[in-house]
Amino acid sequence: QVQLVESGGGLVQAGGSLGLSCAASGSISSINFMGWYRQAPGKQRELVASISGSSTNYADSVKGRFTISRDNARYTVYLQMNSLKPEDTAVYYCNSRGVISRSYRPFDYWGQGTQVTVSS
């Protein structure tokens, strides 16, 4: 009922920048949370950044380097990643939570994941 399509990611040298985007579509009444998580090999998935209403939240490890933003009209969330480090290498996942139209049931969906690799 709700689909998330991620784009962006790729390979970049340390100190470089990348941008990710995630567009939600389907039977959406409203979205109250959009976030980016990442999972590196052998590690647990962790929250990188989230946006809910006008409030943003960042992991300490990315504060000052990453910026999350949102286009409410397009149900799209962006993550601008600057000053990338090798330890930022991971698969990045988009997460969206909201309400499905007509049924007004809550939803919680994940994107397919996109690889970000930062070389030293």
- Average pLDDT value for residue range 89-116: 95
**Long-range pairs for 66-69: beta carbons < 8 A, 24 or more residues apart:** 68/35, 68/36
Mean pLDDT, the chain, integer: 96
How many residues are recorded in the chain?
Answer: 120
- Residue 1 banded pLDDT, cuts 50, 70, 90: confident
Q: What residue ranges in the chain does DSSP mark as E strands?
A: 2-8, 10-13, 18-26, 28-39, 46-52, 55-58, 66-71, 76-81, 90-100, 106-110, 114-119
Task: Return the pLDDT at 31.
Answer: 95
- Average pLDDT value for residue range 92-103: 95
